[in-house]
Every structure is written in structure tokens, then in C-alpha cells.
Amino acid sequence: MRMRPTLNWIPSGDLPPGTTDLEPVAAALSAGGVLVLSGAGISTESGIPDYRGEGGSLRRHTPMTYQDFTATAQARRRYWARSHLGWRTFGRARPNDGHRAVAAFGRHGLLSGVITQNVDGLHQAVDGQDVVELHGSLERVVCLSCGARTPRREIARQLEEANPGFAPVAAAVNPDGDADLTDEQVGDFHVVPCTVCGGVLKPDVVFFGESVPPSRVEHCRRLVREATSLLVLGSSLTVMSGLRFVRQAADAGKPVLIVNRDVTRGDQHALTRVALPLGAALTTVAGRLGIPLDEAAA
């Protein structure tokens, strides 16, 4: 029997309350060696919804799983039609103050690294900073047969040619780039094959129900070992792919600090959780540290 991936987490027991005190975050950054782990919440101010916050996409949308994607051609048609439309929206999104603050902290030598659970490329769009893409990137497409990787813009061009005039209006676009379309709107959308071997193409992202490559996990674990502290930005930490690094840091006695408006699955391991909007919170911290954000080229 196929198991569904964990999509939601219900808090149990007494979790420490959130705070508005940014001093512990500023102090950790001032000390340097901070490893950032970011989630969908850092991109909401760029117009990309998160999964689980107020108005999060999981309230109306069940993400495509790897098992469903590989099971039928119909599921892949539905996914690619929705993702093709969502890609246009992602392409218009721009980094916000949260992304610019992270880039500024790195530029001033306060960070040991950045890991993002996001697939939107917005961290990388500021200063071209080096970021570990834990769940991959929508900028690339991979063939499930031969492993060939192709820039997403090239696949988008092929899909445009195969589906002239395809321009339905989506109800919403989700954090994974999947736009909300009805079956009628999807219609007979044509999916393009791999130009190398004719195989099935998939965005080079880790779907729900799929595992993060072991080499990438180990790279992230090494970053945690080398860091002085871990700063989580905009992640509910519901899925184990991110939570495991919080647990690793806490087990090693490294301070874990979280900036997220809602409770997270990692709160019990954290020194503090700041319940403030990310852009404003990180801009305030940057100001306290005398770091301007306008040096970053978005």
C-alpha cells in the first residue's frame, strides 16, 4: 500500500510562545557563523504563497506527489499544464527585503551558508549568492530515463510551441509552481518528451513523497556541523527534510533561532521563535547591525 507523505502537523503539548524580541537573532548574527535554513514563508512577500500559513496553499491544494506523477500520463499532463502556467508567474516574482537581508548578512561575512527549501530561485537572484537548493529548482528539468538536464526556459519554449494559445486564468499559484486549474482548463494539453531519449520529463525538484538525494543531505549536515548557530526563516518545519537539521543542531548544543509567524515543528528545539513578518524583522536586524540592504543587486 502506498503511503501519502506528511503534509500537515498538528501541535501537541505546550510549545514556548512566540516573541517579538529580535535581540537574540541580532546577537547570533553579530557573532557570525550562522547557517540559514529558509522556507516558503520568506517568499510570500514576493507574491508566492506558502504552504501552511494563513491563506497557505494546503488549505485548498494537495501537491502532486512523485508517486502520482510517475503513475499515469494523465497525471503528468495535468501537472505540466498547471506547472507551465505557474512558471510564468514565478518568472515575474522578484526578491523581497527578506532575501536581500540574507544576501547582505552573507556579504558582510556573518553567515556560514544558506540552505533553502524553496524552488523559486529568489535567494540566488540577489547577488547570485551560493545557496544549497535542498528541494531542487524549477529552473531546471530532468529526464527520468537518461538523467539529462535542460534549462526550464527551453522546455517552456517547447511547451509553448506544442500548445499554442494555452492561456487559462489560474485561481492561484502555489509554492511548488503548480497553478490551480480545473480539468476542463487543462484539456488536452500536450506534454513534451526528452529530446535526448524520448523519456518522461520532470522539474528538477524533490516532489512530496520523494527523497532528497543522500549526497545533498550529507552536504547540509556538514554545514550544520560547521555552523555556530542555525537561523530558520519562514519554515513550519513540518517535513523531515528540514526538521532533521534543526534536531541535529540542537543535539550538538548549537543555538536554533526561528523567525516564523506561526508555531513550527521545531519550536521545542529553539532558543526563540520570533513571530514577526520576515521582511520587516530582517530589515530591523540589519539596521541594528549597521548593514544596508540597498547594496544588493536584485
Asked whether the beta carbons of 58 and 51 are under 8 A apart, the reply is: yes
Q: What pLDDT is stored for residue 214 in this prediction?
A: 96
pLDDT tens for residues 12-24?
A: 667 778 999 999 9
Mean pLDDT of 35-53: 84
pLDDT category, 5, cuts 50, 70, 90? very low
Task: Reply yes or no on whether 135 is catalytic.
Answer: yes
pTM of this structure: 0.88
Quick one: CA dihedral 18, 21, 23, 26, positive or negative? positive
Q: What percentage of the chain carries pLDDT values higher than 90?
A: 69
Mean residue pLDDT of the chain comes to 88
Homologous superfamily of 23-288 in CATH?
TPP-binding domain (3.40.50.1220)
Q: Which three cell numbers stand for residue 79?
A: 501537472
Q: What pLDDT is stored for residue 58 in this prediction?
A: 44
3-state secondary structure of 81: helix
Torsion angle of the four alpha carbons 207, 46, 285, 54, in this order, in degrees rounded to the nearest 10: -70
Torsion angle of the four alpha carbons 177, 181, 186, 189, in this order, in degrees rounded to the nearest 10: -10
Q: How far apart are CA 200 and CA 207, in angstroms?
A: 15
User: Considering only CA atoms, which of 252, 251, 233 is closest in space to residue 242?
Assistant: 233
pLDDT tens for residues 229-261?
A: 999 999 999 989 999 999 999 999 999 999 999
> b/e for 227-256, b at 16 or more Cβ within 10 A?
bebbbbbbbbbbbebbbbbbbbbbeeebbb
Using alpha carbons, list the distances in angstroms from residue 221 to 218, 224, 235.
5, 5, 18
Per DSSP (E only), the strands in the chain are: 34-38, 111-116, 132-133, 136-143, 149-151, 201-205, 229-233, 256-259, 272-274
Element (H, E) at 280: helix 278-288
Q: Which three cell numbers stand for residue 55?
A: 491563506
**Residue 296 pLDDT > 50, yes or no?**
no
Q: How far apart are CA 212 and CA 229, in angstroms?
A: 23
Q: What pLDDT is stored for residue 229 in this prediction?
A: 98
Q: What pLDDT is stored for residue 3 in this prediction?
A: 37
Q: What percentage of the chain carries pLDDT values higher than 70?
A: 89
Among residues 135, 190, 219, 269, the one annotated as catalytic is 135
Q: What pLDDT is stored for residue 129 in this prediction?
A: 75
Q: What pLDDT is stored for residue 11 in this prediction?
A: 67
Binding residues: 39-59, 117-120, 143, 146, 194, 197, 234-236, 278
pLDDT category, 115, cuts 50, 70, 90? very high
Sketch the domain layout of the chain as residue ranges.
Answer: 23-288
Q: What pLDDT is stored for residue 9 in this prediction?
A: 53
φ/ψ bin of 47: left (φ > 0), alpha (ψ from -120 to 50), beta (otherwise): left
Q: What pLDDT is stored for residue 191 in this prediction?
A: 97
